[in-house]
Amino acid sequence: MNGTDTKYTLKDGLQLTCYLLQECSGDTSVHHWKLGLIQQDNDMVRIAGKVKWFDPVKGFGFVVSDTGGPDILLHANVLRNFGQSSVADGAVIEIAIQETDRGVQATEVLSIQPPDAPEGAALADFDFVDDEVLAATPLEPARVKWFDKAKGFGFANVFGKSDDVFIHIEVLRRSGLSDLQPGEALAVRVIDGKRGRMAMEVNAWEAALPR
């Protein structure tokens, strides 16, 4: 067996070492990645990266670190602790990680930023909305009525109001989400648009709580 290693410097001077081990047998060889985590006691190892994919039905997905190395498992329970049931592919994410017998896993989600919007992805429904007006629109607590990812839209109801609020899948993606579950609590910015009441921004429900 032989191997090579690559060291990466993380935040706060912490180091991450990736070991590429090669086992040879006859004419075949198997490569294994192993992450070596070097940290001070009581410090949290943070990794910045992007979401490779996440499937709410399967209950997990993977993150690719900006420093390279193997994929990092992101479990649905860890994501739910952050207040989300899904996350968009390509979203920028910062997580705390630990090494286990099954590989490297996320233990906590620290931040999520939406992926860059592709060219031509602007929604005609929202062309008339001024950014300053949107920023001044309050976040309201709401609950998902239903959402169909295949159709690309769904509806929610603001707490205490009966009107349906239209949610487009592109709004979800821009908010760093990929899917919604019936009954899921949200915080939304709602405007009166071409389709009636429309969500312009979707966040974890904690964002609408009084501070």
Q: Is the pTM of this model over 0.75?
A: no
pLDDT of residue 125: 61
pLDDT above 70 (res 10): no
Backbone angles phi, psi at 10, to 5 degrees: -100, -175
Residue extent(s) of CATH 2.40.50.140 domains in the chain: 2-113, 124-208
| 76: number of Cβ within 10 Å | 19
First to last CA, the chain: 57
Summarize the confidence of residues 157-161 as an average pLDDT. Answer: 91
Longest dimension (CA), the chain: 70
Most confident of 74-78, 174-178, 179-183: 74-78
Q: 195 or 81: which carries more pLDDT confidence?
A: 81
Count of C-beta atoms within a 10 Å radius of residue 163? 10
Residue 94 sits at the vertex; the CA angle it makes with 93 and 100, to the nearest 5 degrees, is 110
Q: CA–CA separation, 28 vs 49, rounded Å?
A: 32
Contact 202, 166 (CB under 8 A): no
Tokens representing 68?
């390279």
Specify the fold of 2-113: OB fold (Dihydrolipoamide Acetyltransferase, E2P) (2.40.50)
CATH code for the structural domain at 124-208: 2.40.50.140
What letter represents residue 87's amino acid? Answer: V
